[in-house]
């Protein structure tokens, strides 16, 4: 057990250490480094730059909370400094260890510092509850999209005609006997395209474990839970490409499970819908035609290209029974769960935007992906989820790249 003299000696040693220039410099550098770690010139997933009504509501509530918390912090710190200054030990004090006058039992003071925090919490609870209720309500005349998470990518199914039937529903299920019901719906992957100034009502599900969908510029996060459907509304004020990432640990490639929302004008959205509803166009050059043959031989058990392999596609190689729909693969900015850019990011901002899609194909990365997918994005430990190594030859890879680049 240490004695008071030992404790005093330790305190003096610590104080002497703090007076050393090297220690002060280290402390200063550490504080500056900690502060700098929170800064970024191009923070793609910042919540501090809202780009839609829901994100603005969240940002306004956060600003109010931090404002009130800041005022409370300042008042508390001022009070602490005032007490330290007013009741400091002075030269000439008869008894330096004497305690100041105590206010225990002062009824009005105790009521005040009990009631004031309660009033602050009530003042915060009212706008918080109102915001939560507003964010959870279903908007009128919304575009409905089903978002399905799986290890480790997202699929997007558009119910364009509002009949409650989605493109990837089982055509043999009760009530879905008419295949024409699916002709007006879209199934895509990795990238969701939405029109600006239009609410998009998401029904979020999972095929395997718990995931979490989050586009910070447009709204908060929402979990994708097996056996349940959670709802979230997205709406973008301006055209742009907004990125996010799964925020619930979901396995080995959790960090490689990203999502992209591309917001476009209504005119561009309608053109996109028309293009998405069309079947894939057969290649006209020899190399791409050879790539189609490779695709049919190696890829059709997992991936669907509408107009090519509807009759043979069954997703058999995937535990979840699904793999990304590749019908209009070349119309996307990214692939492999949003990890890799399909087109060269010419402006270097870290996001492949609408005007860069269809520009310069990032051939090297696409070839690397086809050459050894598990090396680029790890499979699950049981090797049943994710894209396996197909053992493609270099000529097969060249042909397949040419074919995929033509799936516009």
Residue 314: the pLDDT is: 52
Residue 64: the pLDDT is: 92
44-51 LR contacts (CB < 8 Å, sep 24+): 44/243, 44/350, 44/351, 45/216, 45/217, 45/243, 45/244, 45/245, 46/216, 46/217, 47/216, 47/217, 49/217, 50/217, 50/218, 51/217, 51/218, 51/236, 51/237, 51/238, 51/240, 51/242, 51/263
The residues near 276 (Cβ < 8 Å, ≥ 6 apart) are 186, 188, 327, 328, 331
Residue 176: the pLDDT is: 40
Residues of the chain under the 70 pLDDT cut: 1-19, 23, 38-43, 163, 165, 167-184, 309-321, 380, 382-384
Say how many residues make up the chain: 408
> Number of helices and strands (H, E) in the chain?
9, 12
Residue 19: the pLDDT is: 63
What strands lie across the sheet with 240-245, from one edge to the other?
A: 191-195, 258-264, 240-245
Side-chain-side CA neighbours of residue 36 (13 Å): 6
Residue 305: the pLDDT is: 84
pLDDT by residue (tens digit) across 69-96?
999 999 999 989 998 888 777 777 777 7
Residue 252: the pLDDT is: 82
């Amino acid at each position: 057990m240490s004695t008071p003299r030992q404790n005093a000696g330790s305190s003096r040693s610590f104080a002497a250490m703090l007076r050393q220039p090297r220690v002060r410099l280290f402390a200063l550098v550490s504080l500056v480094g900690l502060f700098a770690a929170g800064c970024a010139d191009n923070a793609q997933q910042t919540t501090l730059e809202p780009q839609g009504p829901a994100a603005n509501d969240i940002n306004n509530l956060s600003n109010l909370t931090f404002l009130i918390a800041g005022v409370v912090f300042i008042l508390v710190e001022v009070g602490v400094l005032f007490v330290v200054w007013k009741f400091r030990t002075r030269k000439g004090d008869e008894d330096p260890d004497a305690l100041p006058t105590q206010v225990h039992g002062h009824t009005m003071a105790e009521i005040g510092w009990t009631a004031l925090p309660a009033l602050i919490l009530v003042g915060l609870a009212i706008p918080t509850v109102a915001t939560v209720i507003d964010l959870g309500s279903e908007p009128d005349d919304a575009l409905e999209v089903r978002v399905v998470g799986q290890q480790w990518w997202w699929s997007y199914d558009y119910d364009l005609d509002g009949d409650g039937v989605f493109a990837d529903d089982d055509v043999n299920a009760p009530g879905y006997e008419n295949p024409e019901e699916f002709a007006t719906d879209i199934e895509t992957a990795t990238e969701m395209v939405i029109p600006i100034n239009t609410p998009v009502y998401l029904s979020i599900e999972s095929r395997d474990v718990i995931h979490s969908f989050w586009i910070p510029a447009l709204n908060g996060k929402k979990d994708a839970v097996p056996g349940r459907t959670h709802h979230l509304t997205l709406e973008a004020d301006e055209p742009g490409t907004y990125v996010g990432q799964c925020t619930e640990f979901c396995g080995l490639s959790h960090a490689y499970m990203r999502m992209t929302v591309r917001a476009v004008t209504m005119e561009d959205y309608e053109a996109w819908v028309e293009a998405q509803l069309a079947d894939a166009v057969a290649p006209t050059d020899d190399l791409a035609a050879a790539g189609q043959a490779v695709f049919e031989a190696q890829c059709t058990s997992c991936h669907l290209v509408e107009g090519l392999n509807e009759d043979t596609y069954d997703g058999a190689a995937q535990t979840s029974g699904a793999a990304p729909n590749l019908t209009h693969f070349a119309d996307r900015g990214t692939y492999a769960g949003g990890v890799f850019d399909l087109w060269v990011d010419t402006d270097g901002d870290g996001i492949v935007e609408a005007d860069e899609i269809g520009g310069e194909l990032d051939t090297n990365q696409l070839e690397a992906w086809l050459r050894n997918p598990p090396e680029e994005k790890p499979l699950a430990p049981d090797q049943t989820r994710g894209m396996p190594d197909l053992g493609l030859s270099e000529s097969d890879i060249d042909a397949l790249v040419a074919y995929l680049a033509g799936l516009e």
